[in-house]
A and B are shown apart, each in its own frame.
Chain A
Amino acid sequence: MTNPVLIEAKNVEKRYPNGVLGLKTASLAVKAGEVVVIVGPSGSGKSTLLRTFNGLEAITAGEIVVDGHGLHERGADLRALRQRVGMVFQQFNLFPHLTVLENLTLAPRKVLKLSESEAVERALALLKKVGLSDKAERYPSQLSGGQQQRVAIARALAMQPAVILFDEPTSALDPEMVGEVLEVMRQLATEGMTMCVVTHEMGFARAVANRVIFMDAGEILCEDPPAAFFDAPKHERLRSFLRQVL
């Protein structure tokens, strides 16, 4: 691919204040239009890595450049960066006091300074895209988990980000709702959205990812296109991990 590099992480280390090493030395480059899936055992640092990409976790060593913003630099403009990097959480984290529509229009209005009508227009288009046009006036608590997560994806999209980070977007869902969320993500991928996805859905990884990355104990142990990753795993620890999850 000749696309520009959107995320460039070099030897990133994250030591939490309590001394735990969340990331040891992680290096990764994500190009525009790529879908990168990150897998690994619990506690291997997947969430930590993802959260360093939008500055939710400050790194303690190394370099990260996202969409031209050097996150490791002092005084990095995190706000400007976060407008370009969307995030979808395991627990949805919708704003419970706002309607679905207000969830989608808040940031575009306050951050991008869109007018009310522009923001609403954009929000309604996105709700249609995720199949929730009829839920605009509902509150998050009135929706199912799968619907909430689709709203959360629409909320991230409303900022028209360059890349979206997904941290186990289906792990908190009842099994019958996993499909509808994965379908929306698959759709985004085909439209060329750049995505970094932490997930346990190996089927999704195999079908949608351009590259799959295996993390263990704060390190990236290997990365490969899905076919090679799943059918000819290069690393012994990856083999034992795949035996457990497949």
Chain B
Amino acid sequence: MSNTTTRWLWHALAVALLAALGTGLYIASKRIDYTWRWERIPQYLISTEGEDLKAPFDGFIVVSEDGKQLSMTAMRGSETHDFTGFSRILSNNGDLVFEGDVVAKTDQVGPGPLLVGLWLTLKISALSLVFALLLGLVFGLGRVSKNPAARDLAAFYVEVIRGTPLLVQIFIVYFFIGTVLQLSAFAAGVVALAVFTGAYVAEIVRAGIEAVPKRQTEAAQSVGLSGAQTMMYVILPQATRRILPPLAGQSINLIKDSSLVSVMALTDLTKAGREVVSSTFSPFEVWFTVALMYLLLTGVLSVAVRRLEKRYASQD
């Protein structure tokens, strides 16, 4: 038998085992009378409900004759408000409504709670990653600095952050810094994730810099480059190639770690999943869907980074 055939047989075995695992799970769920309702999931991805349009103040509804215009006038004063983008009007001309009442619904199709959660996860991860890279670069350079104070501070940061659980850090940032500095839950989430990931990035940066042979530094110095120029033009560009792969791993961790911000009042993908479960009572379907959505994010990221790596690798 040829080598390739054997290899395909092994791959087939892996697929068969996975299929068996799936079937086992299905049978097990049947045993506890679990009813699979996959048909319920799509509405939580794409909502057909439409979004609520709410009254901005207390007042009276004004609907035009043809029903194409919806506005309201304030109960006191002469303030008016025009509603736009609605598709269904839930009130009648002349109705008295109070601030916050739903008076109309927007277009039928919109992102469902899971997609909205995914978007928040994406936003918070991307923003945290940017700050984590900055923190990691600064403290990674601190770790290899000639200045003992810079080295001490960087080591302190890295050790403290890596020695405590992220969940505890999130609580500290949310309850302490959040109250003192009056940060929003979103800002607190970004701070917590960036500070946490930054410590790991710092170690990755340090390791990348230290992996560049000392001879490169000597060559750079011998042509008269300053310490900063040596770092900027000679060491960091070479370290980048070594930094990228572990950095990709760390970014993927960041996306996964971001699920912990759901303990704050933030409806990220995980929190959205929890909310959907409590209204559908279909935990398997929902959590499988949520897991798949995380996989999608992390998968796209790893493909992108592999592209980058290839580009860097072609230089030598």
Contact = CB atoms under 8 A, between A and B. Distances in A.
Do A and B bind? yes
B226 interface: yes
A79 B224 contact: yes
Contacts of B225: 106-107, 110-111
Interface residues of B, number: 18
B216 to A, nearest CB: 7
A71 interface: no
A95 B221 contact: no
Interface in B212-233: 215-216, 218-226, 229, 233
Interface in A40-96: 54, 56, 78-79, 82-83, 85-87, 89, 91, 93-96
B229 A110 contact: yes
A241 interface: no
A159 interface: yes
Interface in A86-136: 86-87, 89, 91, 93-97, 106-107, 110-112
Contacts of A96: 238, 315-316
A95 B218 contact: no
A156 interface: yes
Contacts of A141: 316
Contact of B233 (A54, A85, A110, A112): A110
Residue in B218, B219, B221, B316 with the greatest tally of chain A CB atoms within 10 Å: B219
Contacts of A110: 225, 229, 233
A155 interface: yes
A139 interface: yes
Given A91-B215, A93-B216, A110-B229, A86 B223 contact: yes
A145 to B, nearest CB: 15
Contacts of B216: 93, 95
B46 interface: no
A62 to B, nearest CB: 21
Nearest to B226: A79
B233 A106 contact: yes
B94 interface: no
B219 to A, nearest CB: 4
B237 interface: yes
A82 B237 CA distance: 23
Nearest to A141: B316
Q: Interface residues of B: mostly helix, strand, loop or mixed?
A: helix
Contacts of A106: 223, 225, 233-234
Nearest to A55: B221
Contacts of A158: 223
A30 to B, nearest CB: 17
A10 to B, nearest CB: 23
Nearest to A108: B223
B229 to A, nearest CB: 5
A83 B219 CA distance: 12
Nearest to B221: A82
A156 B221 contact: no
A226 to B, nearest CB: 27
B222 A82 contact: yes
B222 A56 contact: yes
Interface string B74-101: 0000000000000000000000000000
A97 B238 contact: yes
Contacts of A159: 223-224
B70 to A, nearest CB: 62
Given A106-B233, A110-B229, A93 B215 contact: yes
Given A139-B315, A139-B316, A141-B316, A93 B219 contact: yes
A107 B215 contact: no
Contacts of B215: 89, 91, 93
Nearest to B218: A56
A93 B218 contact: yes
Contacts of A56: 218, 221-222
Contacts of A155: 223
Contacts of A87: 218-219, 222
Contacts of B238: 95-97
Given A86-B222, A110-B225, 5 more contacts: A86-B223, A89-B215, A93-B216, A95-B216, A95-B219
8 contacts: A97-B316, A106-B223, A106-B225, A107-B224, A110-B229, A139-B316, A156-B222, A158-B223
Q: Which are the 3 A-B pairs with shortest beta-carbon distances?
A: A93-B219, A107-B223, A87-B222
